[in-house]
Amino acid sequence: MQSPLALLASLPLDTRVVIRRRLEHGFTDSLGELVEFGDTTCTVRTRKGDDVVLLAEITAARQVPPPPPRRGPRRHGTDASRQE
């Protein structure tokens, strides 16, 4: 089994990943595109912005599939299946 750091180092940039890391009071996850991988940190571009992760804090990582397509806006009162 490949270590989390070896996996991240082997992936091309812009690959969608989830990274779990240990913080002082527990764990947290970063989900997004891997945009940088360096000697001591990597950067994941999440929906909220870039998350710089210390490699020493990483406990798990994996590649994940692309997000599902966004749904269109809901249309109220235009349901064609409802005939009055």
Q: At 29, which CATH number?
A: 2.30.30.520
Domain contains 38: yes
Query: Whole-model pTM?
Result: 0.78
In the chain, the number of structural domains is 1
**Could you report the per-residue pLDDT of 24-46, keeping only the tens digit for each?**
999 999 999 999 999 999 999 99
Domain contains 23: yes
Q: In this model, does residue 78 exceed pLDDT 90?
A: no
Alpha carbon distance 40, 44 (integer Å): 14
Domain contains 81: no
Domain contains 58: yes
Domain contains 70: no
33 lies in which domain range? 4-63
Domain contains 68: no
